[in-house]
């Protein structure tokens, strides 16, 4: 997968800063975004407040 030059530069900086290979950096960034947006659960967090409703109120 390739991105625009500015995204590639930012991705390389992120990967270097976190000691990751490029693919692992992409995976981590996507996973963090998916968790933050409520599409995936980290196992450490509950349902984001904006996703709460009567059907998931325990």
- Contact (Cβ atoms closer than 8 angstroms) between residue 25 and residue 15: yes
Exposure string for 7-39, b = 16+ CB within 10 A, e = fewer: eeeebeeebeeeebeeeebbeebeeeeebeeee
N- to C-terminal Cα separation, the chain: 41
Give percent of the chain above pLDDT 90: 62
pTM tops 0.75, yes or no: no
pLDDT in tens, 25-49: 999 999 999 999 989 887 765 666 7
pLDDT greater at residue 5 or residue 55: 5
């Amino acid at each position: 997968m390739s991105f625009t030059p500015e995204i590639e530069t930012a991705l390389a900086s992120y990967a270097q800063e976190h000691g990751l290979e490029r693919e692992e950096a992409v995976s981590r960034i996507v996973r963090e975004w998916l968790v933050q947006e409520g599409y995936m659960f980290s196992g450490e967090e509950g349902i984001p407040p904006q996703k709460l409703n009567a059907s998931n109120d325990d």
